[in-house]
Structure 1
Amino acid sequence: MKSAVGSVKNTSLSLLFSDFKEITKAKLAVSVVFSSIAGYFLGAYQISVVSLLLLTFGGYCMVGASNAFNQVIEKDLDALMNRTKNRPIPSGRMSVRTALTVAIVLTVLGVVSLFALSPKTAMFGAISIFLYTSVYTPLKTKTPLSVFVGAFPGAIPFMLGWVAATDDFGIEPGTLFMIQFFWQFPHFWALGWMLDEDYKRAGFKMLPTGKKDKGTAMQIILYTIWMIVISVIPVFGITGRLILSIPAAIIVLLAGLVMLFFALKLYEKRENVTARRLMLASVTYISLIQVIYVVDKFIS
């Protein structure tokens, strides 16, 4: 009997943990924290384990809070889409009150943790939550410009790490911001292309032309080119302490050209499978260049 009760408790805890990961979008949150840590390594003169722990914890809390608020706001729309109808709130596994409590607690913990690093870090973290939940989320059903607005909070993490390490905002974190800002467009439009039918069920307007056409594909190409240009600019020595060696810049350029290749293929074929390849290439690209930037700093 005790064994059966213990098994039920373990199952319940497992489900609660699973729902927590889903309400905070754990995989996305971890990738965002990875960006922040990369920015921290780039900006830091000396590595502080305590600062890294605060950044990791605070960063996850802030992203998790944004996602939880988002799922509270979009609970009825999530129920209409195949990819989101089994989320904790629309499936009935978590109440709106519980999800809202999780979001508020994570916001407080995140702001406090980032404030312990520096007030500027906490400020940018708070701005990202506000823009994501109060501007980007409501705009998704109104206009395709929501992706432009959403690119601002989406681009903050890479920059946030530098600010956390230096308590300063200048050309270096500004450049990191711009890299991730322009990356947002090919990434999310490729995702929007793949999920267009599902998004339309909820009334989301994610593609710039509203259609899976050459116009959307051309904009993906243009933003990919801008992303490549910004990513290699540090090799010219005009971005302060953010410097990229020639070998590292060549690798970054080649990685960008691979992504551009898939963008051109999407323009040519306009198929979901091609959009998926571009989306996967974009995820690989942003993680790869962050690693390259950090490794290049420490070996150059």
Structure 2
Amino acid sequence: MHSQYKSRQGHTTLGNTKTTVAAPSWISDFKEITKMRLSISVVFSSLVGYLLGVDVIDFKILGLLALGGYFMVGASNGFNQIIEKDLDALMERTKNRPVPSGRMSVNTAFIISSIFTVLGIIILYSINKQTAMFGAISIFLYTCAYTPLKTKTPLAVFVGAIPGAIPFMLGWVAATDDFGIEPGTLFALQFFWQFPHFWAIGWFLYEDYKKAGFFMLPTGKQDKGTAVQTIMYTIWTILISIIPVFGFTGTLQLSIVAAILVFAVGIWMLYYAIRLFKLMSVKAARQLMIVSVSYITLVQIIYVVDKFIR
């Protein structure tokens, strides 16, 4: 869709032939401004959290959570692209986004993001107040803390991991209207997972990020220090992922078989983190990033399947 739009950009209508540029351009720009693929993966996390927390599935709430969650993530991404439009224009990866490329004005992006914020909070509030509160905190931290810190300090990744970890626990809070050890554990799992995930991205996009002055790696460089920290946070992620099997996490439980599967998937990710340490290459970092995405998806699926077959 997006490439089709770019190839047609600038064509004019001839005679009575109507152009079809507007529709695909707006659709592709909408997908870009809300980062649709990322938003859907975040919504998936919140739906998993809901399924883990609920006794009887209410499909109305499930739908509201998906819609409200998408609006919240889309708003965060929209505000982020407005703030970083000049920096995005410097990077190959982001220069064709709607705002830095000039296809969409800052005002239009701001209106879309603002509407998304209001709709997201209203929809999440209709589920319960705590869900709306955590959703609002997520937008605020992503936009007002993580985004400006990216050009200042590698600690930006730490700050960004907080709103990034909220969706998984948000689902539980939507299901139970309660925040306790269970959603706290889900939050911790997704929080620690983000470090190897984002550092892998920061590694293989190092040169591109450098053009915009983004500090994404913990040491600021593609070095052994960054690789060691990636391994350490991967280990923390694995440990947190199997905690529910020991019965410390209230109603969030895991069978021994599921815990073994979760642990095995964690070792798979750890292998690639160690591989990055050994090879110190862009290719190894890219492989770790791909594996990390597969890891969190598989762990969440194992958690849900285990709950419903136990």
Q: Could you tell me the TM-score, scaled by structure 2's length?
A: 0.95
Cα distance per residue 1:24-72 (max 9 Å; x no partner): 0000000000000000000011111110110000000000000000000
| Correspondence 1:4 to 2:14 | no
Q: Give the Cα–Cα distance (whole angstroms) in 1 for the partners of residues 104 and 164 of structure 2.
A: 26
SS in 1 for 2:121: helix
Question: What amino acid does structure 1 have at the position aligned with 2:75?
Answer: A
Query: Could you tell me which of 47, 59, 67 is aligned with 2:57?
Result: 47
State the 1:14 CA deviation.
Answer: 1.4
Quick check: 1:192 aligned with 2:205?
no
Correspondence for 1:106? 116
The offset of 1:165, in angstroms, is 0.5
1:146-295 matches, within 5 Å, as 146-295=156-305
Which amino acid counterpart does residue 179 of structure 1 have in structure 2? L
Instruction: Output one character per residue of 1:224-264: Cα deviation in whole Å (capped at 9) or x when no partner.
Output: 00000000000001100000000000000000000000000
- Could you tell me how far apart the structure 2 residues matched to 1:45 and 1:245 are? 18
5+ residue gaps, structure 2, are 1-13
CA distance in 2, matches of 1:155, 1:255: 19
Structure 1 match to 2:83: 73
Q: Give, in angstroms, the shift of residue 3 of structure 1.
A: 7.0
Deviation readout 1:251-283 (Å, 9 max, x if unpaired): 000000000000001000100000011000100
Q: CA RMSD in A?
A: 1.0
SS in 2 for 1:85: coil
- Show the 5 A alignment for 1:48-63: 48-63=58-73
Give the letter for the 1:189 counterpart: W
Question: Distance in 1 between the 2:287 and 2:304 partners?
Answer: 26
Counterpart CA distance in 2 for 1:13 and 1:122 is 33
Q: Deviations over 1:180-208 (max 9, x none)?
A: 00000000000000000000100000000
CA distance in 2, matches of 1:3, 1:230: 63
2: distance between equivalents of 1:15 and 1:201? 28
Amino acid at match of 2:282: N
- In 1, Cα distance between the equivalents of 2:41 and 2:93? 20
What amino acid maps onto 1:140 in structure 2? K
| Matched residue type, 2:48 | A
Q: One-letter code of the match for 1:142?
A: K
Between the aligned partners of 2:161 and 2:243, the Cα distance in structure 1 is: 20
Aligned partners of 2:174 and 2:23: how far apart in 1?
A: 34
Paired amino acid for 2:17: A
Q: Secondary structure at the match of 2:94?
A: coil
How many residues are matched? 297
Distance 2:53 2:17 in 1: 52
2:139 aligned with 1:139? no
2:41 to 1, 21, 31: 31
Provide the residue aligned with 2:104 in structure 1.
94
1:280 alignment partner, SS class? helix
Cα distance, 1:2 vs structure 2 = 9.5
Structure 1: gaps spanning 5 or more residues: none
- Distance, in Å, in 2 between the alignment partners of 1:34 and 1:90 is 29
Task: Give the C-alpha shift of residue 137 in structure 1.
Answer: 0.3
Q: 1:11: Cα distance to partner?
A: 2.8
Q: Matched residues in 1 for 2:158 and 2:269: separation?
A: 20
Partner of 1:123: 133
Q: Percent identity?
A: 66
Q: TM-score, normalised by structure 1?
A: 0.98
